[in-house]
Chains A and B, each alone.
Chain A
């Protein structure tokens, strides 16, 4: 059920400022695609255009097409709420709902959508999602405790469990490990490897080793200068990007010559 994403001619704006310009790419289903690039190059902005989260920022505006299989996310009559249900998202900082228990956090999306009304059914999905996020064994005895009481890494896996509980087609991750310690990071990376069996995953990362470890394909973004819009420089198999990129700027960035 994972879907292919086809982006063509996409630009995003903050008010009148153009943050990213004319991006076209294809994200393959059941694979991990990593976005790398220097700060401010618009990779997070681009990620947020893939589930129409960009437009909740005041002044946020998008031009272009994002096809999810054969449907344009920005087509007429498309409901952004439905898009966000189909394309899940995990944020940079773990953000469990502070007033909800672990269980309620995972069930939050399901309850919203009115599916799985029976308690037993809900229990099953919560357990499956927490297992899917490799968190079940750590929290199964305290499902009714507040989610904010977990460690940072556990909170982030809780957020992943919450995102996959609604069975999205695509999972977007915006620097999911940047607020975590190395051990928690490793746990999340392992989890990403498992999740790609079921979902199309897009991850933004500042950590090039991480991109090399977890992703199948890597896209490099760059910007011409401060205040200029970010652009996609190239996208290719991760191995090729890291060993033999076709653009000089990519090699410079990866080898640490700038950025």
Chain B
């Protein structure tokens, strides 16, 4: 086998070339793939296996086996392992892309069916759930208000906490805060919802409202804002701070006038991403805002709806007209989140800190 010659090459310097191995041609991996798929389908059809998945699995196994056997014969075992690893990595990619592609494709193709101006400008008031019609206007209002309120609470707290950790934080308190910010990142959204339920609704006796939902969303948002802001503040070169301090500028003005403006792009990006994340949260809304078929513009009193809640509600209605509405609302929600993401990325690119990678 060629790898024997290969191992001995440096010691004995054999007469024939030690560097050039026999290699399989470049088209070979593609060839193996085609052969494996053909064989797999052949076996599948021949044995009358119903599931396409089986065909795929057989093809995959054949492909890996074929690659290993032939490469090991021609190029040696190390090369064969390398090729198998490459095939596996490609396989991972394919395996993951299929469901994710299907998710987006299904949502878009089913969502556009009922998505029109009417859908965006009407609520579900007076609509019989088994009939087509109605829209998401009330849910969009709810989402915007709840997310807006949550941001109003979470962004200042998050920003200031990050400033504390980066600019002032030394000693025990900072360590404890850092630790609990991490812990807070992992709090499931339904637990945050339960907490506000226990605290705001059961103990303090307030009713269900958009604001109660916003409180829970704020809890989910804070640690994300702290984390991203912290990262951005740490990117600001220390020379800038020192330059400002050396001019006799007080520390707080240095932070406001030098540090924050330098990192504002990154901070905004982080905030937008955090907003995008909480805009899709359903569980707290389910527990705290309660859902509403009608338009309720006041987030401080009475039940509201929200886009993710609306999707869930239509799904649980369990009929085709509702499913159509659910897909359309899901598409609106995805579009909303994606736009926020794209804007965030745009800001990041536009105002990238000079020290960024």
Residue of B nearest to A70 (CB): B17
Question: How near does chain B come to A5, taking the closest CB pair, in angstroms?
Answer: 13
Residues of chain A within 8 A of B21, CB atoms compared: 77, 79, 82
Contact of A71 among B19, B23, B79 (CB under 8 A): B19
**Residue interface mask A88-127, B partner, CB < 8 A = 1:** 0000000000000000000000001111000000000000
Contact of A1 among B10, B20, B22 (CB under 8 A): B10
Q: How many positions in chain B have a CB within 8 Å of any CB in the partner chain?
A: 17
Does B10 contact A83, Cβ atoms closer than 8 Å?
Answer: no
Q: Say which one of B1-9, B101-109, B158-166 lies at the interface with A.
A: B1-9
B18 in the interface, Cβ–Cβ < 8 Å?
A: yes
Q: Say which one of A139-147, A166-174, A202-210, A239-247 lies at the interface with B.
A: A166-174
Does B78 contact A114, Cβ atoms closer than 8 Å?
Answer: yes
Does B22 contact A77, Cβ atoms closer than 8 Å?
Answer: yes
Does B19 contact A82, Cβ atoms closer than 8 Å?
Answer: yes
Residues of chain B within 8 A of A78, CB atoms compared: 19-20
B338 in the interface, Cβ–Cβ < 8 Å?
A: no
Which of B3, B9, B11, B19: most chain A Cβ within 10 A?
B19
Does B23 contact A79, Cβ atoms closer than 8 Å?
Answer: yes
Residues of chain B within 8 A of A8, CB atoms compared: none
**Bound: A168/B10 CA distance, A:** 7
B128 in the interface, Cβ–Cβ < 8 Å?
A: no
Q: In chain B between 22 and 41, which residues have their CB closer than 8 angstroms to a CB of chain A?
A: 22-23
B13 in the interface, Cβ–Cβ < 8 Å?
A: yes
Residue of B nearest to A69 (CB): B13
Residues of chain A within 8 A of B17, CB atoms compared: 71
**Bound: A86/B23 CA distance, A:** 18
A75 in the interface, Cβ–Cβ < 8 Å?
A: yes
Residues of chain B within 8 A of A73, CB atoms compared: 19
Question: How near does chain A come to B297, taking the closest CB pair, in angstroms?
Answer: 54
Residues of chain A within 8 A of B22, CB atoms compared: 77
Does A114 contact B3, Cβ atoms closer than 8 Å?
Answer: yes
A135 in the interface, Cβ–Cβ < 8 Å?
A: no
A85 in the interface, Cβ–Cβ < 8 Å?
A: yes
**Bound: A82/B19 CA distance, A:** 6
Contact of A79 among B11, B13, B20, B77 (CB under 8 A): B20
Contacts A77-B21, A82-B21 given; does A167 touch B3 at CB 8 Å? no
A68 in the interface, Cβ–Cβ < 8 Å?
A: yes
Contact of A86 among B3, B10, B78, B79 (CB under 8 A): B10
The majority secondary structure among interface residues of chain A is: loop
Residues of chain B within 8 A of A81, CB atoms compared: 78-79
Residues of chain A within 8 A of B78, CB atoms compared: 81, 112-114
Does A1 contact B13, Cβ atoms closer than 8 Å?
Answer: yes
Residue of A nearest to B13 (CB): A1
Does B20 contact A85, Cβ atoms closer than 8 Å?
Answer: no
Q: In chain A between 51 and 90, which residues have their CB closer than 8 angstroms to a CB of chain B?
A: 68, 71, 73, 75-79, 81-83, 85-86
Residues of chain A within 8 A of B11, CB atoms compared: 167
**Bound: A85/B22 CA distance, A:** 17
Residues of chain A within 8 A of B10, CB atoms compared: 1, 85-86, 166-169
**Bound: A79/B22 CA distance, A:** 9
Does B9 contact A86, Cβ atoms closer than 8 Å?
Answer: yes
Residue of B nearest to A167 (CB): B10
Q: In chain B between 72 and 109, which residues have their CB closer than 8 angstroms to a CB of chain A?
A: 77-79
**Bound: A75/B7 CA distance, A:** 21
Question: How near does chain B come to A65, taking the closest CB pair, in angstroms?
Answer: 13
**Bound: A86/B10 CA distance, A:** 7
**Bound: A114/B4 CA distance, A:** 10
**Bound: A166/B8 CA distance, A:** 11
**Bound: A75/B18 CA distance, A:** 12
**Bound: A90/B261 CA distance, A:** 44
Does A86 contact B7, Cβ atoms closer than 8 Å?
Answer: no
**Bound: A75/B90 CA distance, A:** 29
**Complex A-B, nearest 7 residue pairs according to Cβ-Cβ distance, in ascending order:** A77-B20, A167-B10, A78-B20, A78-B19, A82-B19, A79-B21, A115-B7
**Contact residues of B with A, CB < 8 Å?**
3, 6-7, 9-11, 13, 17-23, 77-79
- 10 A-B pairs besides A71-B19, A79-B19, A82-B6 with CB distance below 8 A are A73-B19, A75-B20, A76-B20, A79-B21, A81-B78, A82-B19, A86-B10, A86-B19, A166-B10, A167-B10
Query: 23 A-B residue contacts at CB 8 Å?
Result: A68-B19, A71-B17, A71-B20, A75-B20, A76-B20, A77-B20, A78-B19, A79-B23, A79-B79, A81-B78, A82-B6, A82-B9, A82-B18, A82-B20, A83-B19, A85-B10, A112-B78, A113-B7, A113-B78, A114-B3, A114-B77, A167-B10, A168-B10
**Contact residues of A with B, CB < 8 Å?**
1, 68, 71, 73, 75-79, 81-83, 85-86, 112-115, 166-169
